Amino acid sequence: MLPLEIHIPLKIVDEPVIKLKIVDEPVIKLKVSDSGGGIFPIYSGETVITPKVKEQTELETAKKTVLQNIVVEEIPYYETSNVKGITFIIGGN
C-alpha cells in the first residue's frame, strides 16, 4: 500500500487537542509545520523596537500570525551635570 498524503488546514479555537482513530494500519505520521499562520500570513516585520519621543510606532501585525515576542526597548535616558545641577534628557541626545 502506498503512503497517502493529506493536507488539512486546521484552526484551533479551544484547547489544542486532536483526536485520531487508526482503522487499519497501526502507523500514522503527523507533521506540523510553522510555514503558515492558518488563515493569516506570518508577520515578518520588526520584532525589536525603541519608542520615539514625538512619533507613534505602529507594527503591522493586524491579521497576521506572530511567531516570536515583540520586544519594546527602554526609552533612551541620559543625565548630564551642569552648573545648576543635573539635566535629564529623556528620549533624545
69 occurs within a structural domain:
yes
84 occurs within a structural domain:
yes
10 occurs within a structural domain:
no
Q: Are 38 and 10 in contact (CB under 8 A)?
A: yes
Scored b (16 or more CB within 10 A) or e, 49-78 reads eeeeeeeeeeeeeeeeeeeeeeeeeeeeee
Query: What's this model's pTM, rounded to 2 decimal places?
Result: 0.49
Strands 48-49 and 71-72: parallel
68 occurs within a structural domain:
yes
31 occurs within a structural domain:
no
74 occurs within a structural domain:
yes
Q: How would residue 2 be classed by pLDDT, with cut points 50, 70 and 90? A: low
16 occurs within a structural domain:
no
Neighbours of 15 (CB within 10 A): 5
79 occurs within a structural domain:
yes
Q: Which residue range is the domain that position 59 belongs to? A: 48-90
Domain count, the chain: 1
Q: Give CA–CA dist 38/31, Å, rounded.
A: 15
What are 10-22's pLDDT values in tens digits? 665 666 566 666 6
